Structure 1
Amino acid sequence: MGAKGFPEGFLWGSSTNAQQFEGGWNEGGKGLSIADVRKIPNMPKESNFEDFKIASDHYHHLKEDIGYLGEMGFKIYRFTMSWSRIFPNGDDLEPNEDGLAFYDTMLKELEKYNIQPVVTLYAYDLPYNLLKKYNGWMSRECVKDYLHYVETVVTRFKGRVKYWVPFNEQNCVIFDDEYITGYKTKNKKELFQLQHNMNLAYAQATQLVHKIDPEAKTGGNICNTCVYPFSCNPKDVEAADHFAYIFGYGYADILARKKYSKYYLKYFSEYDLSDIIFDGDLDIIGAAEPDFLSITYYMSSVIKSNNDEQIISMSNIKGTNPYCEQTEWGWNIDPYGFKHFLIDFYHRYQMPILILENGLGHRDKLEDDGTITDDYRIKYLKEHIERMKEAVEEGVEIIGYLTWSAIDLYSTREGFEKRYGFVYVDKNDNLKRYPKKSFYWYKKVIATNGEDLSND
């Protein structure tokens, strides 16, 4: 009989991203990133910001914020480094020492609370200079500059970071290229060129990590949903399969199996890719050295055949499932989908899984007494953890579970109105922090290694 519950040493924690959380956009020698100049269409006016320059101002609240994580008993915490904080122009010969010092302070604070760091090296914040100079990831020069940045930070923080993730949700570039890279591709061939350069960078980054720090671990990151066909009509099933392969498996094949599948390349078959895939490129990708596969999961998707190639789109990802509740923003709440997703990817790739993001976006209310009662978030996380526990007991090897997010941050398209954290950030009062009810609940979950999920 298999062991019950989560294994000893299971890592509980949470995640943030620099572009949504850090702020301090023009301090400490930081250069402009695409996040600093990004404009989001239809951003709600009540979000109170037009960009990510302030975000949650973690830059000035670092010790306070990590203190909250320590109080909760975090075992692990994922943050992203801002490339332009370390290399303001992206291609500088020498790093900005003030930027490195900021992350050194962050690691020291995490070490004080015995929190294991996970560092994602790129999360939608390309140095703006590189977009202007050579269209960013459309150029192989970007691969070279990125690897210089990777080599710099892994060398500087050798022995202090066990887990490195080269890119955040790398597969999402297939439908969100402009947001992720700053460049809007004109056709599918340009899209492949963008992806291919990032894949070359990913593969070489994994090798650099191991060369510099043989004790460190590294792996790719897949954002995905549990994909259901709209009906048992074979056309809907085929459409759902196509979505799953192009958005999920096709990319995981690159990150975990280290190769382009024939199915994935068929998606771009109308184009001659010989001027993109150079001699030796497939060997570079094949030489990647991943140790784990990291995933993010929020919802399941319902895919319906529409007889065209618009299947891979955000609108289809948010297809309504009549058997699930939806969030205000149309995301299906599906705990079983989480379990299905974990089992599917583990048995397909046979690699340990590190869950980097899972959480519920919701409007939270700060009461006059400073409390925030977010039972809906507790319910969501409880039900997903229960399903994750089943997956573990059925043989899925999971390194740890990190929620999104540790502390409220600036949601990608909804500003602060869509909140995810255990700590409330009051945008109307100097970004003051308030622990939510879920803060104390998750603290208990961590203390009991996932055994006590009661909400009392």
Structure 2
Amino acid sequence: MKILWGGATAASQYEGGFEEKKGLDTQDCRPYLPRTSNATEETRLLTKEKIEEAKKTNSNQYYPFRNGTKGYEHLEEDIEYLEELGLDIYRFSISWARLFPNGIDEAPSPEGVAYYDKVFELLVKKKIKIFLTLNHYALPINLVECYGGWKGRECIKYFLRFVHFVFERWGELVDYWLPFNEINAGYFSPFNGVGLLKGEDGYNLSEVFQALHHQFVASAKTIRLAKQMKLKGKFGSMIACFCYYPLTSNPEDNLKLLFEEQMNQWYCMDVLSKGEYPYYSSKFFESKNITLNITDEDKKVLKENTCDFVSISFYTSSVITVDEAEKTAGNLVVSTKNPYLKASEWGWQIDPVGLRTSLHRVYERYGKPVIVSENGLGARDVLTEEYKIHDSYRIDYMKAYYEQAQLALLDGVPLEAFIAWGIIDIVSAGSCEMDKRYGVIYVDADNYGNGSYKRYKKDSFYWYKEFIQRHKAGGIN
């Protein structure tokens, strides 16, 4: 078995093209804020007032996701780069608001359809496999205002209308399908994950978990629809994975780890992969006074339409303790600092062995093929006067993680694909900035959208290209 090596972008972070009759979505409303201790948090905990400010045509805020990295304009060039890299597979998402600007439209936007027709046409021509994310955080803002985001059951109906069109138009071209990106993020990042606005008293947990339930049902009904339409692609579910460690051998640290891991990491995948709510969720809901509306039909559709494969994003591991300890940042979460690991400038702890461990844990728990649908290093790259980017730090990161992924495959984990995140520089979903770059292809733009948006190959581009060539020739590198 060989791993498919790929790259990924997300519509909201990459496309831009906001003026091309695209509807306003939740990511379009997130402003760039200069980096402070709480800037990242402020940009993903939006209130009704902040949405109203974002809708103004004369707002003095810069909204970076409306530009992305102008993939809408550079599409053909970018896919040429993907072909030159030799990618086996490309993961991208469709913007719901580009196809259905209000989320509830009876018919899709012709401009949106034409754009995605071109995307699929080019990828098929280049013989690059397609991993399609149907919903990568961005939700039409009209659905937030009309139904409160995913806490409104109505979103299921409108999502399926969107999905049905995608299936009819491009369904035969897709190899891997993902209904929802990092679905567990709806718990710890409710605006990004489920489109909930922050109230004066924060978030109502019953609403958060009801919104997640509606996404579970929407995912299952998406799979059911695909079966009815006899689509060939495999359907997956995805979680942000954190590889939890106890800080000490104190049994209380390990017990706390168990409970944190259950709800933060496994809960959503337990439902989507096994088709029913896990035993531990009842006690959690009771302790938090969470009440949910779950119908018998919901239970049936969940049980009968589980995912074919499990995918994870993996960047960093997390440490758990009952005691006070130094903290550091992570993928939409905060963790205790691990004294054995180095970290990126943004505080994300680098742990390639944690990836191998997580791949084992995921396969052991679910018994289904696994895909690493996101992994990469967010770093500050420098474009030299000779238009070069010497990112040896990214090459070192990729080498370490890719080695552990291949070792997991040799261990017996059926790892089907490994997809590098932000293969082309994109706006960071965590901090809404360009300074934090992931790509092997550089985009000349700054945090305020200034720049030529020209593309340049980084040193890591040439390394990844050679790596893929070696892999195709001999399997394990």
TM-score normalised by L of structure 2: 0.88
Residue 184 (structure 1) shift: 3.1
**Kept in 2: contact 1:302–1:317 (CA 8 A):** no
Structure 1 segment 232-247 matched on structure 2, within 5 A: 232-247=249-264
Structure 1 segment 139-150 matched on structure 2, within 5 A: 139-150=152-163
Q: Which position in structure 1 is the counterpart of 2:129?
A: 116
**What per-residue deviation string (whole Å, max 9, x for no partner) do you get for residues 368-421 of structure 1?**
101101011111110111111111001000111101121000002141000000
**What per-residue deviation string (whole Å, max 9, x for no partner) do you get for residues 322-380 of structure 1?**
10001111111011000000011011111001111011010001011011010111111
Structure 1 segment 206-355 matched on structure 2, within 5 A: 206-270=223-287, 276-305=293-322, 317-355=334-372
Partner-residue secondary structure (3-state), 2:401: helix
**What per-residue deviation string (whole Å, max 9, x for no partner) do you get for residues 269-325 of structure 1?**
146766511232211211214111111100111111259xxxxx9786432111000
**Letter paired with 1:442:** Y
Q: Distance in 1 between matches of 2:456 and 2:332?
A: 34
Q: Distance in 1 between matches of 2:94 and 2:85?
A: 23
Q: Does 1:166 align with 2:187?
A: no
Q: Distance in 1 between matches of 2:134 and 2:332?
A: 28
Residue 104 (structure 1) shift: 1.1
1:50 to 63, 75, 93: 63
**Letter paired with 2:68:** A
2:84 to 52, 61, 71: 71
Q: Distance in 2 between matches of 1:443 and 1:103?
A: 26
Moved more, 352-361 or 269-278: 269-278
Q: Which position in structure 1 is the counterpart of 2:426?
A: 409
Q: Does 1:423 align with 2:441?
A: yes
Moved more, 53-62 or 92-101: 92-101
Q: Which position in structure 1 is the counterpart of 2:29?
A: 37
- Residues 215 and 453 (structure 1), Cα distance of their counterparts in 2 relative to 1, 3 Å cut: closer
Q: Distance in 1 between matches of 2:237 and 2:151?
A: 20
**Kept in 1: contact 2:32–2:433 (CA 8 A):** no
**Letter paired with 1:127:** P
**Letter paired with 2:470:** T
**Kept in 2: contact 1:124–1:180 (CA 8 A):** yes
**Kept in 2: contact 1:318–1:332 (CA 8 A):** no
Structure 1 segment 368-407 matched on structure 2, within 5 A: 368-407=385-424
Q: Which position in structure 2 is the counterpart of 1:100?
A: 113
**Letter paired with 2:277:** Y
Q: Which position in structure 2 is the counterpart of 1:62?
A: 75
Q: Distance in 2 between matches of 1:211 and 1:383?
A: 42
Residue 42 (structure 1) shift: 5.0
Moved more, 438-447 or 262-271: 262-271
- Residues 99 and 402 (structure 1), Cα distance of their counterparts in 2 relative to 1, 3 Å cut: same
Q: Does 1:444 align with 2:462?
A: no
What do you get for the CA RMSD once the two structures are aligned?
Answer: 2.3
**Kept in 2: contact 1:355–1:401 (CA 8 A):** yes
- Residues 452 and 147 (structure 1), Cα distance of their counterparts in 2 relative to 1, 3 Å cut: closer
Q: Which position in structure 1 is the counterpart of 2:43?
A: none
Aligned residues: 441
**Letter paired with 1:322:** P
**Letter paired with 1:37:** C
Partner-residue secondary structure (3-state), 1:39: coil
Residue 99 (structure 1) shift: 0.8
**Kept in 2: contact 1:324–1:332 (CA 8 A):** yes
TM-score normalised by L of structure 1: 0.92
Q: Which position in structure 1 is the counterpart of 2:18?
A: 25
Q: Does 1:133 align with 2:122?
A: no
Q: Distance in 2 between matches of 1:40 and 1:180?
A: 19
**Letter paired with 2:466:** K
**Letter paired with 1:246:** M
Q: Distance in 2 between matches of 1:386 and 1:251?
A: 28
Residue 39 (structure 1) shift: 2.9
1:176 to 182, 185, 189: 189
- Residues 219 and 444 (structure 1), Cα distance of their counterparts in 2 relative to 1, 3 Å cut: same
In the alignment, structure 1 segments of 5+ residues that lack a partner are: 1-6, 308-312
Q: Which position in structure 2 is the counterpart of 1:4?
A: none
**Kept in 2: contact 1:219–1:294 (CA 8 A):** yes
**Letter paired with 1:86:** L
**Kept in 1: contact 2:406–2:476 (CA 8 A):** no
Q: Distance in 2 between matches of 1:18 and 1:43?
A: 23
Q: Which position in structure 2 is the counterpart of 1:361?
A: 378
- Residues 85 and 15 (structure 1), Cα distance of their counterparts in 2 relative to 1, 3 Å cut: same
Q: Which position in structure 1 is the counterpart of 2:58?
A: none
**What per-residue deviation string (whole Å, max 9, x for no partner) do you get for residues 199-231 of structure 1?**
111111111122223311111111111110111
**Kept in 2: contact 1:78–1:119 (CA 8 A):** yes
**Letter paired with 1:416:** M
1:14 to 7, 11, 25: 7
**Kept in 2: contact 1:372–1:436 (CA 8 A):** yes
**Letter paired with 1:142:** C
